[in-house]
């Protein structure tokens, strides 16, 4: 059996990055189905003729080799969360609506446009367009790149095009999830004194959560606010039974001055006396703004950096010793919503800020 070669969507990387965003949004690329958008990006980058290009699965990498004193890595994921009746895109004046407009095809478009138009940058550049960011860590394109081609990730600064609404968001919080289980003893509800109510026992878990003194930590001028919260609770056997088990799932967003062990240790200590099962933990990323390339970028972007709330792949770069910041168009709180939209003017303005820094 033979099938016709797939048609590769042509991308005009020299065009307005807002128009390029629209083209990218209109190529569906839900996690796991990034083949067509990766083909389009690879073809367009190879056509430039100035960059070394590498295809690894559905990730596309490209870099200069200009022997500049510093190298900046510019990265964006090309997948989106599932489409929710919001592809193709819709334009209303300055507003572009659709799946991935915020998270993060506008960031990808900004970086692709710079790859085409920065002919003689002052820094060496590495572009990384990777797949499967919205799903499990093991399938994330960066996981494969780090394992198979780690030399492609070497850099003095990493800029991730995740949405920050025109701010520089430095580093990121860590996140830990755990299940706290309270045990009791069943009995019939009509003879409750023969049992030990596990839901009543969970009051102590909730009381400790309420009393937890969440820190605010200033690092490199960025304020990281911690938060420790129950995100689910469940318990109960039947309407006439005193329950013998109640589970509270907690989520801890911690400042990047704690490492993962410290965060887990805190949870185990706080919930001493209960069963604590760690479900997952990911360290945060220090802002690293004291590194020269990072400080220069913050200056170029207006002089102000704020803390990133939420975990992003900047943590991977921080773990590799590379200062890393988030900088991309769109309001981060719109990510993963059906109503996702981005200002086309903001895409153009942020692209020019990056151009000034890299030129």
339 is catalytic: no
Stretch that binds a copy of itself, among 22-30, 55-63, 73-81, 194-202 (CB under 8 A): 194-202
Is 121 a binding residue for a copy of itself by CB under 8 A? The answer is: no
What gap in Å lies between CA 352 and CA 300, rounded to an integer? 10
What gap in Å lies between CA 232 and CA 178, rounded to an integer? 11
What gap in Å lies between CA 23 and CA 182, rounded to an integer? 52
Two structure tokens written together for 84: 């929710």
| Sites for a copy of itself among residues 287-316 (CB under 8 A) | 309-311
Stretch that binds a copy of itself, among 21-29, 76-84, 136-144, 242-250 (CB under 8 A): 242-250
Catalytic residue among 79, 131, 169, 226: 79
172 DSSP 8-state letter: B
Whose structure tokens read 């801890």?
A: 252
Looking at 72, 74, 160, 248, which residue binds a copy of itself (CB under 8 A)?
Answer: 248
- State the minimum distance, in angstroms, from the CB of residue 169 to a copy of itself: 11
Is 338 a binding residue for a copy of itself by CB under 8 A? The answer is: no
C-alpha separations of 120 from 65, 68, 124 in Å:
11, 10, 9
What gap in Å lies between CA 141 and CA 128, rounded to an integer? 10
Catalytic residue among 34, 42, 108, 133: 133
Looking at 33, 83, 241, 320, which residue binds a copy of itself (CB under 8 A)?
Answer: 241
12 is catalytic: no
What gap in Å lies between CA 183 and CA 9, rounded to an integer? 58
- State the minimum distance, in angstroms, from the CB of residue 216 to a copy of itself: 10
Is 192 a binding residue for a copy of itself by CB under 8 A? The answer is: yes
- State the minimum distance, in angstroms, from the CB of residue 321 to a copy of itself: 24
Is 191 a binding residue for a copy of itself by CB under 8 A? The answer is: yes
| Sites for a copy of itself among residues 253-292 (CB under 8 A) | 253
Whose structure tokens read 């770069």?
A: 317
What gap in Å lies between CA 296 and CA 92, rounded to an integer? 36
User: DSSP string covering 24-51, please?
Assistant: HHTS--BTT--HHHHHHHHHHHHHHSSS
Binding site for a copy of itself (CB under 8 A): 173, 175, 177, 188-193, 197, 199-200, 202-203, 206-207, 209-210, 214, 225, 227, 229-243, 246, 248-249, 251, 253, 309-311, 333
């Amino acid at each position: 059996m033979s099938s016709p070669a797939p048609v590769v969507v042509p991308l005009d990387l020299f065009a307005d990055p807002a128009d390029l965003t629209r083209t990218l949004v209109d190529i569906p690329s839900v996690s796991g189905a990034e083949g067509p958008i990766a083909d389009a990006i690879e073809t367009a980058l190879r056509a430039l003729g100035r960059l070394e290009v590498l295809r690894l699965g559905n990730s596309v990498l490209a870099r200069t080799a200009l022997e500049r004193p510093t190298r900046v890595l510019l990265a964006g994921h090309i997948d989106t969360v599932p489409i929710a009746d919001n592809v193709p895109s819709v334009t209303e004046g300055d507003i572009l609506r659709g799946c991935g407009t915020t998270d993060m095809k506008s960031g990808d478009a900004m970086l692709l446009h710079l790859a085409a138009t920065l002919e003689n940058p002052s820094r060496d550049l590495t572009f990384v367009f990777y797949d499967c960011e919205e799903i499990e860590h093991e399938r994330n394109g960066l996981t494969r790149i780090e394992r198979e081609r780690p030399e492609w990730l070497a850099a003095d600064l990493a800029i991730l095009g995740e949405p920050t609404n025109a701010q520089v968001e430095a580093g990121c919080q860590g996140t830990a999830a755990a299940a706290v289980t309270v045990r009791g003893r069943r009995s019939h509800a009509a003879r409750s004194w023969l049992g030990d109510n596990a839901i009543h026992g969970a009051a102590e878990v909730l009381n400790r959560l309420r009393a937890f003194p969440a820190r605010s930590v200033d690092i490199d001028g960025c304020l990281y606010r911690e938060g420790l919260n129950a995100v689910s609770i469940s318990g109960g056997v039947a309407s006439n039974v005193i329950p013998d088990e109640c589970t509270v799932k907690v989520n801890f967003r911690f400042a990047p001055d704690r490492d993962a062990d410290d965060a887990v240790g805190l949870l185990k200590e706080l919930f001493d006396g209960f069963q604590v099962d760690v479900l997952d933990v990911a360290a945060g990323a220090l802002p690293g703004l004291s590194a020269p390339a990072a400080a220069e970028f913050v200056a170029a972007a207006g002089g102000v950096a704020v803390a990133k709330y939420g975990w992003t792949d900047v943590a991977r770069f921080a773990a590799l010793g590379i200062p890393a910041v988030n900088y991309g168009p769109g309001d981060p709180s719109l990510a993963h919503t059906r109503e996702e939209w981005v200002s086309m003017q903001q895409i153009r303005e942020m692209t020019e800020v990056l151009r000034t820094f890299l030129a």
